[in-house]
Structure 1
Amino acid sequence: MRQARHLLSRSILRTNVNRFAQANRFYSTQPTNDNAEFRVESDTMGKINVPNDKYWGAQTQRSLQNFKIGDSRERMPIEVIHAYGYLKKAAAIINNKYGGLDEKLTKVICDVADELQQGKLDDHFPLVIWQTGSGTQSNMNVNEVLSNRATEKLGGKRGSKLVHPNDHVNRGQSSNDTFPTAMHIAVAIQVNKVLLPAMKKLESALDEKQKKFNNIIKIGRTHTMDAVPMTLGQEFGAWKHQVSNAIKRVEQALPEVYELALGGTAVGTGLNSYEGFDTDVAQKISELSGLPFQSAPNKFEALSSNDALVWMSAALNNYAVTCMKIANDVRLLGSGPRCGLNELLLPQNEPGSSIMPGKVNPTQCEAMTMVCAQVMGNHGSVSVAGSNGHFQLNVFKPVILSNVLQSIRLMGDASDSFVDHCIADIEANETQISKYVTQSLMLVTALNPKIGYDNAAAVAKKAYKENTSLKQAAKELNLLTEEEFDQYVKPELMLGPEPRK
C-alpha cells in the first residue's frame, strides 16, 4: 500500500511538472541561441531568453518570471494597453516637434502605436496586474513591443533596438507618469463608450414605464408594510430619478479623470521632458481620442495620488447601490406568482428549476444584484489602494485600474441586460394591484383630517382584529356613515397634497 501511494505521488508530481512546464514555456532563464524557440534580449540586468514569436523584451520576460501570481483572467486590462497607443503616438509627435525624434522614428512609432490602439498587438501583453505597483513592467511591455515591432518594420531584427524602447519610445516619459495617464485615458474611454450609454438606456426604459403606469393606483409600502396609495408610475419614476442622479455623479467625476499626469516624469518635476511637453501632449491625446483631456495642473498630486479614480469608483459604487435597490424592488414586486406580491409580471426568460416544473425566477434581478455586490467590493479595494500613496508615488495603481475598469464593464453590461431582458417587458398585474388597494387598512389615513388620528387608528385596529372592512368598522364605532366614508376615502384623491382652498 505504501509503495502504491509512493508511485501515485510520483505520477501526480510528474503530471504537475509537465503542466507547469507547458503553461510556463516562456520562463526560460538561461540565455542561448541554440533553441530556435527563443532569442536573446538584454537589459540593465543582463541577458535573458525571450520567445521568438513575441514582440516583448527582457523586462517583460523578467516580470513573467518574477510575478507568477493569478492566471490569464488577471492580466493587465487590455483597455489600458490600447490607451497606451494614444499616449505613445502623442508623445512621439510632440518629441518630434521639439527635435527629440527624427521623422523616420516618429512615423514608425506612430504607425505601431496605431496598431496597438486598434488591438492588433494584443497577444504580446501577458503581464498580470499583480506586479510592481507603479505599472513599470507594463509600461516597459508597451515600450518593448513598440520597439521590436517598429524595428521589424524598419527592416531590423527583434531585440536589436534599432528603435530603442527607452531612448525613443519612452522619450521624455517615466512609468510614473505614463501609467497613471494611460489609466485615466482607459477609464475615460470606457465610461463614455460602455457605462454612460447603458446608464442612459436604463434611465430611458424606466421613464417609459413611469409614463405607461402613471395612472395605475397601488399601495405604497414602508418598512415592507402597507402604506398609503401611490401610482405604479410614481414608483418607477423614483427609480428613474435615482438613475438620473447616478448619471450626474459619474459625469461630475469625469473632469478630474480627464486630467493627465504625463509630463511629471519621475516625481512630478518633469525632469527629462521639455517645457510645454505636458500641455502639448495632453492636447494631442485629446485630438487623437476625441475626449477633452488636459494636462493635470499639479503633477505631484497626479503621481502621488489616485483620488480622481477613487472618486470615479465612488460614483460607480453609488450606481451599484442604486441598481441593487431597483433590482430588489422589482423582484419583490414580481414575487409569486400566487403566493407573493405579484404586482409586476416579469418576463419569463428561462426555466427556473431543475426539480420544480414550471418555475420561473427573476434571474436578471439576481444577476444585477450580484454585479452590484462585486462593484461595492471593488470600491472597497480601490479605497484602500487609493489611501496608500506614500510620498511621491501611489504604488497600488494596477489594482485600482483593474477594479475600476471591471466595475465600469460590469455595470454597463448588467444595465444593458437588465433593460433588454427585464425592464423593457415588465407588465403591471392590475387585478392584483387593485385587490391590494381595496384591502389596505392604510386607506384610513384619509380620515385623519375628518375624525382625528386616534379615532382613525381605532377604525383600522377594529377592522384588522375583526377582519372587516374599514367602512364597516367606522360605521360600527359611530364615527362615520357609509356615505361619509365613501366621500372621504377615495384612493385617487390620496396621491398628492390637497389643493389650497
Structure 2
Amino acid sequence: MTAERLEHDLLGERAVPASAYYGVHTLRAIENFPISGTPISIYPELIKALAAIKQAAAQTNLQLGLLDATRASAIIQACQEVRGGALHAHFVVDVIQGGAGTSTNMNANEVIANRALEILGHARGDYAQLHPNEHVNMSQSTNDVYPTALKLAGYVGVQQLIAAMQVLRDAFGDKAREFADVLKMGRTQLQDAVPMTLGQEFSTYEEMLSEDIARLREASLLICEINLGATAIGTGINAHPEYAGLVRQHLAGITGIPVLTAPNLVEATQDCGSFVQLSGVLKRVAVKLSKVCNDLRLLASGPRAGLGEINLPPMQAGSSIMPGKVNPVIPEVVNQIAFEVIGNDVTISFAAEAGQLQLNAFEPIIAHSLFKSVAHLRAGCLTLAERCVRGISANREQLRRSVENSIGLVTALNPYIGYANATEIAQEALLSGASVYELVLARGLLSRAQLDEILQPDVLTRPRAPIGLR
C-alpha cells in the first residue's frame, strides 16, 4: 500500500501521497487538467522564477516584520534549493490549466512549504507549523506572482535565444568571408538578375540575424516591468505599503534581472501587451529564419537537376526507396519550427485579447506558447549553425558557369558595349543557347582579357564607375 497523508481544502478532505511535496490544491489540479500531459517542470526557468519570487517575498516579509525569522529562514532555504534544481519533479500541474495560473502558484507554495517544514523538523502536510498560503504566499496573489514568473523565465529564455542566434550569425559571417571571392548570379523573382558574390549572399543572413538580435534585446526590456506587489487586481490589498518596492529590490538581487515595478499596478495586472510584443518579435525571427532556410534549400537543390550552387553537409539517408538521395533535413526542421512559432503568435494574440476587466485568465497558454517558441527557436539556431551552415561548401565551377551563361550578365556589360548591343546579345543568347561571354567575344565587342577584367568580383558586385579598358 502506498503511504498517504490527509489534507484539507474548501472542497473537503483528500489523500495525498506521503512522498509528495505538493499538496491537495495541486492534487485537484492534476485531476482537473489532464490536457497536454506536460507538467510545468518542462520549463525549469519558470520553476526557478517562482522560487525566486517566493524567496524575495519571504525576505521582504521578514524585513517588514510580517514573517518570523524561523519560518522565513526555512522558506528561503527551500527556495534556494528549488532554484538550484531540487524538487522540480514535484511541479506537476499541466502547462495548460484554467484558473489564471492559480494551480501553478499553489503547486509552488505547497512544494516550498513542505520542504520548509522538513527543514524545520516537521512532517510534510503539518501546515499548522508553516502554511503554503499563510506564510509562503504572504503578501502575494497568483495575479502578481504568475505574470512576474513568466516575465523572469521569458527574460532568461530570450537571453539564451540571443546567444544561440549569435552562434548562427557568426557561422554565416564565417561563410560570408570564406565565399567573398565566389562570383555568382543574383536572382529576383527566381529569374537571373545581376552578378553578386556568394559571400554577399551569406552576409545578408548574418546581418538579418544581427537586426533581430537587436529587436529581441529591446523586447526583453519590456518584460522587465513587473506587477509584483499588485496582489489581486493591482490595488495591493493585503500587502504592506512598502512591500512592492522592497520585494522588487530583493528579486533583482536574487535573479540579476533589472526588474522594475510598473507605475500603475492595476493596468499591469490585466495588460498582456509585453507578451504580445515579445511574441511578435519571435515571429519576426521565425519568418526571416524560415526564409533563409528556403534559400539554402534552393541553392543546394539538385544535386544535378537543380541550382546546385552550394552543398549542404549530408546528415542522413534521404529515402527508403531512392538510393543515394540526401535531403536538406536541417533547414527543413528549422522551417517547421518557424511554422510553429507563427502559430504560437496567433495563440498568444487571441489569449491576450480575451482578457476581461482586471485580469487575463489565459496567461497559462500564453506562457506555454511563448516558452515553446523561445526554446525551439534556440534549438533550431544552434542545430542550423552546427549541423548545416558550418559545413556548407560552394560549387565554384558551377557558379562560374552560371555567371558566364546567364542572360543577366548583359546588365554588367551594358556600360561597355552599349544598350543596343547588350539587347541583341541577350536575344541571341536566349534563342541560340550560347553564352553571353562567347557571343561578346564572337562579335568582337570586347576581348577575352577585357571581359575577364570586367567580370572581376570587385568590379561587378559594388557601386563604382566603369573601369577604363585598354
TM-score range, shorter chain: over 0.9
Of 459-468 and 419-428, deviating more is 459-468
User: Aligned partner of 2:23: which letter?
Assistant: G
CA distance in 2 between counterparts of 1:400 and 1:72 reads 15
Residue 413 (structure 1) aligned to one of 379, 388, 391: 379
Aligned match of 2:185:
219
Residue 140 (structure 2) aligned to one of 170, 173, 193: 173
SS at match of 1:323: helix
User: Aligned partner of 2:73: which letter?
Assistant: K
Residue 153 (structure 2) aligned to one of 160, 183, 186: 186
User: Aligned partner of 1:172: which letter?
Assistant: S
CA distance in 2 between counterparts of 1:488 and 1:342 reads 26
Residue 164 (structure 1) aligned to one of 126, 131, 145: 131
- Counterpart contact for 1:279–1:294, Cα < 8 Å: no
Aligned match of 1:92:
58
Aligned match of 2:6:
40
CA distance in 2 between counterparts of 1:362 and 1:489 reads 36
Residue 490 (structure 1) aligned to one of 450, 455, 469: 455
- Provide closer, same or farther for how the CA distance between residues 487 and 236 of structure 1 changes in structure 2, counting only shifts above 3 A: closer
User: Aligned partner of 1:213: which letter?
Assistant: F
- Counterpart contact for 1:96–1:103, Cα < 8 Å: yes
- Provide closer, same or farther for how the CA distance between residues 488 and 122 of structure 1 changes in structure 2, counting only shifts above 3 A: closer
CA distance in 1 between counterparts of 2:435 and 2:82 reads 72
Aligned match of 1:154:
120
Residue 215 (structure 2) aligned to one of 249, 255, 258: 249
SS at match of 1:357: coil
Aligned match of 2:445:
481
- TM-score, length basis structure 2: 0.93
User: Aligned partner of 1:345: which letter?
Assistant: N
User: Aligned partner of 1:427: which letter?
Assistant: S
Aligned match of 1:144:
110
CA distance in 2 between counterparts of 1:474 and 1:202 reads 42
User: Aligned partner of 2:141: which letter?
Assistant: S
- Provide closer, same or farther for how the CA distance between residues 351 and 403 of structure 1 changes in structure 2, counting only shifts above 3 A: same
User: Aligned partner of 2:139: which letter?
Assistant: G
Q: Does the alignment pair 1:115 with 2:81?
A: yes
**How far did 1:297 drift?**
2.1
SS at match of 2:163: helix
Q: Does the alignment pair 1:443 with 2:432?
A: no
CA distance in 2 between counterparts of 1:165 and 1:487 reads 79
Aligned match of 2:174:
208
- Counterpart contact for 1:443–1:491, Cα < 8 Å: no
SS at match of 1:108: helix
User: Aligned partner of 1:303: which letter?
Assistant: T
Q: Does the alignment pair 1:460 with 2:445?
A: no
**How far did 1:422 drift?**
0.8
Equivalent residue runs for 1:314-325 within 5 Å: 314-325=280-291
CA distance in 1 between counterparts of 2:263 and 2:184 reads 54
Aligned match of 1:15:
none
Residue 276 (structure 1) aligned to one of 242, 264, 277: 242
Of 75-84 and 353-362, deviating more is 75-84
- Counterpart contact for 1:177–1:266, Cα < 8 Å: yes
Q: Deviations over 1:125-148 (max 9, x none)?
A: 211122224101110111111112
Q: Does the alignment pair 1:383 with 2:370?
A: no
CA distance in 2 between counterparts of 1:73 and 1:347 reads 37
**How far did 1:77 drift?**
3.4
CA distance in 2 between counterparts of 1:487 and 1:315 reads 45
CA distance in 2 between counterparts of 1:107 and 1:499 reads 75
- Provide closer, same or farther for how the CA distance between residues 486 and 66 of structure 1 changes in structure 2, counting only shifts above 3 A: closer
Aligned match of 1:329:
295
- Provide closer, same or farther for how the CA distance between residues 133 and 329 of structure 1 changes in structure 2, counting only shifts above 3 A: farther
SS at match of 2:6: strand
- Counterpart contact for 2:21–2:115, Cα < 8 Å: yes
CA distance in 2 between counterparts of 1:126 and 1:441 reads 63
**How far did 1:76 drift?**
6.9
Aligned match of 2:389:
423
Q: Does the alignment pair 1:396 with 2:336?
A: no
Aligned match of 2:162:
196
**How far did 1:168 drift?**
0.5
- Provide closer, same or farther for how the CA distance between residues 177 and 74 of structure 1 changes in structure 2, counting only shifts above 3 A: closer
CA distance in 2 between counterparts of 1:427 and 1:44 reads 66
Q: Does the alignment pair 1:105 with 2:74?
A: no
- Counterpart contact for 1:463–1:472, Cα < 8 Å: no
Equivalent residue runs for 1:218-367 within 5 Å: 218-367=184-333
CA distance in 2 between counterparts of 1:119 and 1:261 reads 26
Unpaired segments of 5 or more residues in structure 2?
none
- Counterpart contact for 1:447–1:488, Cα < 8 Å: no
CA distance in 2 between counterparts of 1:453 and 1:384 reads 55
CA distance in 2 between counterparts of 1:238 and 1:36 reads 61
CA distance in 2 between counterparts of 1:134 and 1:208 reads 46
SS at match of 2:408: helix
**How far did 1:283 drift?**
1.7
Of 401-410 and 157-166, deviating more is 157-166
CA distance in 2 between counterparts of 1:471 and 1:196 reads 46
Residue 436 (structure 2) aligned to one of 462, 470, 473: 470
User: Aligned partner of 1:42: which letter?
Assistant: H
Q: Deviations over 1:64-104 (max 9, x none)?
A: 22222231367773431221111000110000000011110
**How far did 1:465 drift?**
1.1
User: Aligned partner of 2:380: which letter?
Assistant: A
Unpaired segments of 5 or more residues in structure 1?
1-34
User: Aligned partner of 1:165: which letter?
Assistant: P
- Counterpart contact for 2:179–2:198, Cα < 8 Å: yes
SS at match of 1:332: helix
Q: Deviations over 1:317-348 (max 9, x none)?
A: 11111210111111211122222211112112
SS at match of 2:410: helix
CA distance in 2 between counterparts of 1:446 and 1:189 reads 49
- Provide closer, same or farther for how the CA distance between residues 467 and 489 of structure 1 changes in structure 2, counting only shifts above 3 A: farther
Q: Percent identity?
A: 38
Q: Deviations over 1:163-185 (max 9, x none)?
A: 11111001000000000011011
Equivalent residue runs for 1:70-89 within 5 Å: 70-72=36-38, 77-89=43-55
**How far did 1:303 drift?**
1.1
Q: Deviations over 1:27-54 (max 9, x none)?
A: xxxxxxxx75322101222212212111
CA distance in 2 between counterparts of 1:475 and 1:422 reads 40
Q: Does the alignment pair 1:369 with 2:339?
A: no
**How far did 1:157 drift?**
2.2
**How far did 1:190 drift?**
1.6
